[in-house]
A and B are shown apart, each in its own frame.
Chain A
Amino acid sequence: MLKLEARPQPSPAWTYGSPLLALLVTVLIGVLLFVALGKDPVAGLRVFFWDPIKSPYALGELTVKATPLLLIALGLAVCFRSNVWNIGAEGQYVLGAIAASGVALMADKGSSSWIVLPVLLAGVLGGMFWAGITAWLRDRFNANEILVSLMLVYVAVMLLSFIVSGPWKDPQGYNFPQSRTFDAATRIPRLFAGSRVSIGIFIALAGVACVWVFLFRTRAGFAQQVGGLAPAAARYAGFSSRRALWVALLVSGGMAGLAGALEVAGPIGQLTPYVPAGYGFAAIIVAYVGRLHPVGMVLSAVLMSMFYIGGELAQSRLGMPRSLTGVFQGLLLFTLLACDTLVNYRLRWAK
């Protein structure tokens, strides 16, 4: 029988090899799925792994989708490393989008383009506020953060729905539940003509650097992770677990809110009920596949963005449901968790 044997130390090779193996297994299952459905698997592989990178425009779109995923995942990595289970990033993202829209809607023809800064700041604060509710309920009432943060996603989506069909509804919008289009001044500056890539990607990459420094080069970041790995040791060292909880949730809420702000003031350009696109949940997978490491998450955010674009292309070109994206995302997390066993255990045949 196949047996697991604990390794004395986690295997460094498998730490990095496991996401690749997981991707390989997911692709294999994907190919089998295409064959089973009578679709050409080569065409399937192409829409997922070649078409999203084959032209400058496609690369731009890949970046546009990878940016929010990366930002949210960076915050979640801080959370998960602190053993705080924030799975409601989607709600924090929505609140960031709502708060940013509140500022963006104040702009008019005469506004300077510096208004982008308050727009983004509002997004950060909105996300922090929403995550702060979870932190407060956990801190003050000991309420499970997994369930609270997730319930708040539903509340945030309903709040968004109310706002766009009530107070901020565009009077000239043919009765669609959406806000008016934001003034051009609030648009996040774009990098090139003919592509939707904005300075958001630089903000996200700066976030990578900041999170790396915070986690691996500051005392606060160290305290955060000790609390996650060994709560008793952290207590003994005098690291406050309450502080770790608040830091983790406020950082991840702020990052998710920032992603929401960049999205409404960037590619979307108005507040609509379609703002929540599942990035908050997909970012959980990005964080895990990227090993909760800032650099690893750059790669996994790009990969997840490929899944999104591949799903859209599979719908338009191969006539497959767009939800294919969700299937592959879920499969990837499953296979990753299974492959991660190899990091800590060796497989042995034993009688």
Chain B
Amino acid sequence: MESYALLIAATLNAGTVLALASLGLLINEKAGIVNLGAEGMMLCAAIAGFAAVVHTGSDLLGFAAGIGAGALLALIFGALVIWLNTNQYATGLAVSLFGAGFSAFVGVGYVQQKMPERLQFEIPWLTDIPLIGPALFRQHPLVYLTVLLALALIWFLYRTRAGLVLRSVGESPESAHALGYPVRRIRLLAVVAGGALCGLSGAYISIVYTPLWVEGMVAGKGWIALALTTFATWRPARVLLGAYLFGGVTMLQFHLQGDGVEVPSQFLTMLPYLATIVVLALISRNPQWIRINMPASIGKPFYPGA
């Protein structure tokens, strides 16, 4: 039973990585922009965060560095896509390819580096409850903040005027423009906010999730986060649930290996990627279902007066 509590704890931890990035990408997509550069932004943020912690010893500065790195790359992406009208897919790919190369280049000196002692977090009293304590209440604060973030995003998107404007920019930029909203500026803000969250997720990977730096350590989580917005049919609450589900799939492999299941480890490592493909196929099977929920102008450029 104790091992199940640990599995749940690990699932929440892995799910947080995916949830942070995917909520960021959701903000992008609600504003009509698809950023395929998530993987690259997360890699650059991972090394930025790791390096900041190694040099300053402060986790908070590490997270700030990660957020900064993600936001900066997103700003470049946004400037190209929104102001120069470049193809969103190609530009996102450029971010991913550049991010992979650049993070490896910058990170060479950090491969063997160690961070200062990692803190253990636990919530007093609650952590002593058998099973539930170790499963839920010994997490990094960001795990809880991510849940709050999802709630805040729901409130923002569906209960505030600014959220309504953001969604209108993703649904019908022409109408939003006609009403006098600065469509391109709103889209850029959304892209930078999304990049910042991807950056936070990347920094969480290298500071908390697997506290070290290895080239390519994000290992496709950026792409899985992209797929998650589709699974969730662009709803924040479902993004959060989907992220925990996939966190669970990622962690299941270690659990199975621990239980002595006789499957080569490579097949267990494949699980999250295969699961992504299967779920993507199942969700997309009904085109109407996707069309109803998808922001109508997703991926389409908007240039006022063109």
**A327 nearest CB neighbor, chain B only:** B101
Cβ of B276 within 8 Å of any chain A Cβ, yes or no, is yes
From 80 to 134 in chain B, residues with beta carbon under 8 angstroms from any chain A beta carbon are 80, 83-87, 89-91, 93-95, 97-102, 104-105, 108
Cβ contacts under 8 Å, A144 to chain B: 227, 230, 280, 284
Cβ of A50 within 8 Å of any chain B Cβ, yes or no, is no
Cβ contacts under 8 Å, A118 to chain B: none
The reply to whether B280 and A323 contact each other, CB–CB distance below 8 Å, is: no
The reply to whether A148 and B280 contact each other, CB–CB distance below 8 Å, is: yes
- In the complex, what distance in Å separates the CA atom of A331 from the CA atom of B40? 13
- In the complex, what distance in Å separates the CA atom of A329 from the CA atom of B94? 9
Cβ contacts under 8 Å, B95 to chain A: 330
Contact of B93 among A87, A140, A165, A321 (CB under 8 A): A87
The reply to whether A154 and B220 contact each other, CB–CB distance below 8 Å, is: yes
Stretch at the interface among A122-130, A201-209, A237-245, A333-341: A333-341
Cβ of A288 within 8 Å of any chain B Cβ, yes or no, is yes
Cβ contacts under 8 Å, A155 to chain B: 270, 273-274, 277
Stretch at the interface among B151-159, B166-174, B261-269: B261-269
Contact of B223 among A151, A285, A326, A329 (CB under 8 A): A151
Contact of A151 among B87, B220, B264 (CB under 8 A): B220
The reply to whether A326 and B281 contact each other, CB–CB distance below 8 Å, is: no
- What 0/1 readout, one digit per residue, does chain B (207-241) give for beta carbons within 8 Å of chain A? 00000000100011001101100100000000000
Cβ contacts under 8 Å, B1 to chain A: none
The reply to whether B281 and A151 contact each other, CB–CB distance below 8 Å, is: no
- In the complex, what distance in Å separates the CA atom of A137 from the CA atom of B227? 14
- In the complex, what distance in Å separates the CA atom of A284 from the CA atom of B276? 23
Stretch at the interface among A156-164, A189-197, A228-236, A294-302: A156-164
Nearest CB on A from B254, distance (A): 15
CB within 8 Å for A146 and B280 given contacts A331-B98, A341-B85: no
- In the complex, what distance in Å separates the CA atom of A340 from the CA atom of B102? 23
Cβ contacts under 8 Å, B87 to chain A: 337
Nearest CB on A from B25, distance (A): 12
- What 0/1 readout, one digit per residue, does chain B (266-306) give for beta carbons within 8 Å of chain A? 11011001101100111011010010000000000001001
The reply to whether A152 and B270 contact each other, CB–CB distance below 8 Å, is: no
Cβ of A324 within 8 Å of any chain B Cβ, yes or no, is yes
CB within 8 Å for A334 and B273 given contacts A141-B281, A162-B267, A327-B102: no
Contact of A284 among B84, B97, B102, B105 (CB under 8 A): B97
The reply to whether B273 and A154 contact each other, CB–CB distance below 8 Å, is: yes
The reply to whether B84 and A327 contact each other, CB–CB distance below 8 Å, is: no
CB within 8 Å for A147 and B227 given contacts A284-B97, A288-B90, A323-B104: yes
Cβ contacts under 8 Å, B215 to chain A: 323
Nearest CB on A from B124, distance (A): 41
Nearest CB on A from B171, distance (A): 20
CB within 8 Å for A324 and B105 given contacts A151-B220, A281-B97, A288-B90: yes
Cβ contacts under 8 Å, B274 to chain A: 151, 155
Cβ contacts under 8 Å, A161 to chain B: 266
**A336 nearest CB neighbor, chain B only:** B94
Nearest CB on B from A296, distance (A): 16
Nearest CB on A from B72, distance (A): 13
- What 0/1 readout, one digit per residue, does chain A (161-194) give for beta carbons within 8 Å of chain B? 1100110000000000000000000000000000
The reply to whether B282 and A141 contact each other, CB–CB distance below 8 Å, is: yes
Cβ contacts under 8 Å, A338 to chain B: 80, 84, 86
Cβ of A16 within 8 Å of any chain B Cβ, yes or no, is no
- In the complex, what distance in Å separates the CA atom of A344 from the CA atom of B220? 34
- In the complex, what distance in Å separates the CA atom of A327 from the CA atom of B97? 8
Cβ contacts under 8 Å, B276 to chain A: 147, 151
Cβ contacts under 8 Å, B142 to chain A: none
The reply to whether B108 and A333 contact each other, CB–CB distance below 8 Å, is: no
- What 0/1 readout, one digit per residue, does chain A (248-282) give for beta carbons within 8 Å of chain B? 00000000000000000000000000000000010
Cβ of A325 within 8 Å of any chain B Cβ, yes or no, is yes
- In the complex, what distance in Å separates the CA atom of A324 from the CA atom of B227? 30
Cβ contacts under 8 Å, A324 to chain B: 101, 105
- In the complex, what distance in Å separates the CA atom of A102 from the CA atom of B158? 56
Cβ contacts under 8 Å, B269 to chain A: 158
**B81 nearest CB neighbor, chain A only:** A337
The reply to whether A284 and B223 contact each other, CB–CB distance below 8 Å, is: no
Cβ of B176 within 8 Å of any chain A Cβ, yes or no, is no
Cβ of A6 within 8 Å of any chain B Cβ, yes or no, is yes
The reply to whether A334 and B104 contact each other, CB–CB distance below 8 Å, is: no
- In the complex, what distance in Å separates the CA atom of A146 from the CA atom of B284? 13
Contact of B306 among A6, A141, A150 (CB under 8 A): A6
Binding site for A on B (CB under 8 A): 36, 40, 76, 80, 83-87, 89-91, 93-95, 97-102, 104-105, 108, 215, 219-220, 223-224, 226-227, 230, 264, 266-267, 269-270, 273-274, 276-277, 280-282, 284-285, 287, 290, 303, 306
Q: What are 9 A-to-B residue pairs whose CB atoms are below 8 Å?
A: A85-B89, A137-B277, A141-B284, A142-B290, A143-B284, A327-B101, A329-B101, A330-B94, A333-B97
Binding site for B on A (CB under 8 A): 4, 6, 85, 87, 137, 140-144, 146-148, 150-152, 154-155, 158-159, 161-162, 165-166, 281, 284-285, 288, 321, 323-331, 333-334, 337-338, 340-341, 344-345
Give me 12 other A-B pairs in contact (C-beta within 8 A), A337-B80, A337-B91 excluded: A87-B93, A141-B285, A147-B227, A151-B273, A158-B266, A165-B266, A321-B105, A324-B101, A331-B98, A333-B94, A338-B86, A345-B85
Closest 5 CB pairs of A and B: A326-B101, A330-B98, A323-B104, A162-B266, A141-B281
